Amino acid sequence: MTQDKSASERMEKIVSLCKRRGFIMQSSEIYGGLNGCWDYGPLGTELKRNLKDFWWRRMVRERDDIVGMDGSILMNRQVWVASGHEATFSDPMVDCRSCKSRLRADQLPEKDGKLHCPVCGSFDLTEARAFNLMFKTYVGATEDESAITYLRPETAQAIFVQFKNVLEVSRKKVPFGIAQIGKAFRNEINPRNFTFRSREFEQMELEYFCRPEDGVELLEYWLKERLKFYEDVGISSDLLHVYKIPPEERAHYSQGTYDIEFHFPFGVQELEGVAYRTDYDLSQHQKASGKSLEYFDEETGQHFVPHVVEPSAGVDRTVLALICAGFCEETITDQKGKAETRTVLKFHPRMAPIKCGIFPLLKNNERLVGPAREIVESLRPHMMVFYDESGAIGRRYRRQDEVGTPFGVTVDFDTIGENGPSNQGTVTIRERDSMKQVRVPIGELKSFLVDRIN
Ligand code: GAP
């Protein structure tokens, strides 16, 4: 099998697992869907929440120099004029005169040295023109020019325009950062690769404000921090690639940008950009609003517009990377010597949607079911657990393997002292990846699990 074929088959299996087990579903599916929009089901929502919570913990709660904010999605149109998005946030597009497809001008295939339509093959294409990626909308009852604004295409601008307010209320000194997680919208011409390029997605962005002379060094610092973050959520460095954007490809105001890329089955693609944006954004807003966005340095008595280093990550792309990195099919031999395929999502326990499955060995035995249910209730305040009493125990393990649950606790006859007193009050804990089991007293179960999922 060629590499391309096996990669696309792997991707198909991942998409199918996501739907089958309630990670990610097509938006508005019963009406035929809406291209570029996705819904997260029960397990996908937990996975996404775990990722966002951990990002927040790392970027805000565990640091003294970063605070959070939560800006509105709709903002004054002037924000997008000043940021440059209204004039330049666009892709070059051409129309095919034969089949009427609208196509990205920079992604057209070539035949005999001439660009052609990938849908019908025609060479009859219009000239390229800019197509703005922002979703336009109207605020209020009148749909005229004065009511126009846009759904935000990035969360960053809310941080820039609130920079002064947050600085004052948080009483921070540079270097300091403002972090935000939230929805962003882009009318992508060609949404593709499952959730990778969506029209509605979430970003996790940090704007880290600093003195101009510290920008270059802080860019390197943030690249390292962010790479460590991916390791800490279970994405190994072998699956990551850092692309240093050459000067001619960078935005004109950037003095350095790295893309952190991931080896998706469909290719090596961007997960996050880490960019040194100089004082561009704050200066633009200062100029356009007429309000000072300068920082006063008490130590030196200087006034200056801070420079910014921005690590900007996609939530949905990272969720997809976690699923792709974790997806694994193993051939194992069951107790009867029969080979079978075990599908496992090898999530890091801190990312796993369900932390622990809890199983009474038999479902119709109240002496087993009672303690199992008590364990569920005792663990619930501390983690997401799942109780399952139906089917053979091996099958119950497999169901949890497939959704990435790192631990399975079984209440058996030893637990209730039926095989003698030595194991009474203990349960087995099965570890997902090694499939090894250990016995642990029920009283130690919570700390055993909490230690491993945080
Ligand atoms: N404030 C900087 C900024 O928005 P970007 O590279 O355009 O930079 C940052 O976006 C991140 O947002 C990307 O690395 C990606 O993870 C995510 N992202 C951007 N467009 C996306 C899309 N159409 N679908 C899913 N995620 C997207």
What's the gap in Å between 202 CA and the centre of ligand 1? 8
Q: What is the pLDDT of residue 303?
A: 97
Which of 187, 270, 320 should be mutated for ligand 1, with most atoms under 8 A from CB?
270
Which of 90, 104, 154 should be mutated for ligand 1, with most atoms under 8 A from CB?
154
CA 435 – CA 109 distance, rounded (Å) = 48
Q: 315 CB less than 6 Å from ligand 1?
A: no
Indicate the SS3 state at residue 28: coil
Q: What is the pLDDT of residue 190?
A: 85
Q: 198 CB less than 6 Å from ligand 1?
A: yes
Closest CA to 159 of 85, 229, 72: 72
Closest CA to 273 of 313, 317, 227, 218: 313
Q: What is the pLDDT of residue 161?
A: 98
Q: 159 CB less than 6 Å from ligand 1?
A: no
Q: 180 CB less than 6 Å from ligand 1?
A: no
What's the gap in Å between 112 CA and the centre of ligand 1? 35
Among protein residues, the one whose CA lies closest to atom 17 of ligand 1: 314
Q: What is the pLDDT of residue 252?
A: 87
Q: What is the pLDDT along the chain (454 residues), one digit of tens a residue?
A: 566 789 999 999 999 999 999 999 999 999 999 999 999 999 999 999 999 999 999 999 999 999 999 999 999 999 999 999 999 998 888 999 999 888 888 889 988 889 999 999 999 999 998 889 999 999 999 999 999 999 999 999 999 999 999 999 999 999 999 999 999 999 998 898 999 999 999 999 999 999 999 999 999 999 999 999 999 999 999 999 999 999 999 988 899 999 999 999 999 999 999 999 999 999 999 999 999 999 999 989 999 999 999 999 999 999 999 999 999 999 998 778 889 999 999 999 999 999 999 999 999 999 999 999 999 999 999 999 999 999 999 999 999 999 999 999 999 999 999 999 999 999 999 999 999 999 999 999 999 999 999 9
What's the gap in Å between 314 CA and the centre of ligand 1? 6
Q: 154 CB less than 6 Å from ligand 1?
A: yes
The pair of three-digit structure tokens given for residue 454, joined into one six-digit string: 């945080």
Indicate the SS3 state at residue 250: coil
Q: What is the pLDDT of residue 113?
A: 87
Q: How far apart are the first and last CA of the chain?
A: 40
Q: What is the pLDDT of residue 3?
A: 62
Q: 80 CB less than 6 Å from ligand 1?
A: no
CA 55 – CA 49 distance, rounded (Å) = 10
What's the gap in Å between 113 CA and the centre of ligand 1? 32
Angstrom distances, CA of residue 333 to CA of 329, 339, 342, 392, 394: 13, 4, 10, 16, 12
Q: What is the pLDDT of residue 101?
A: 87
CA 440 – CA 423 distance, rounded (Å) = 9
What does the pLDDT look like over 281-292, one tens digit per residue?
999 999 999 999
pTM of the model: 0.94
Indicate the SS3 state at residue 323: helix
Residue 153 near residue 85, CB atoms below 8 Å: yes
Which of 200, 254, 312 should be mutated for ligand 1, with most atoms under 8 A from CB?
312
Angstrom distances, CA of residue 339 to CA of 238, 315, 329, 331, 334: 30, 37, 13, 6, 6
Among protein residues, the one whose CA lies closest to atom 26 of ligand 1: 314
Indicate the SS3 state at residue 446: helix
What's the gap in Å between 187 CA and the centre of ligand 1? 12
Q: 280 CB less than 6 Å from ligand 1?
A: no
Closest CA to 332 of 319, 342, 347: 342
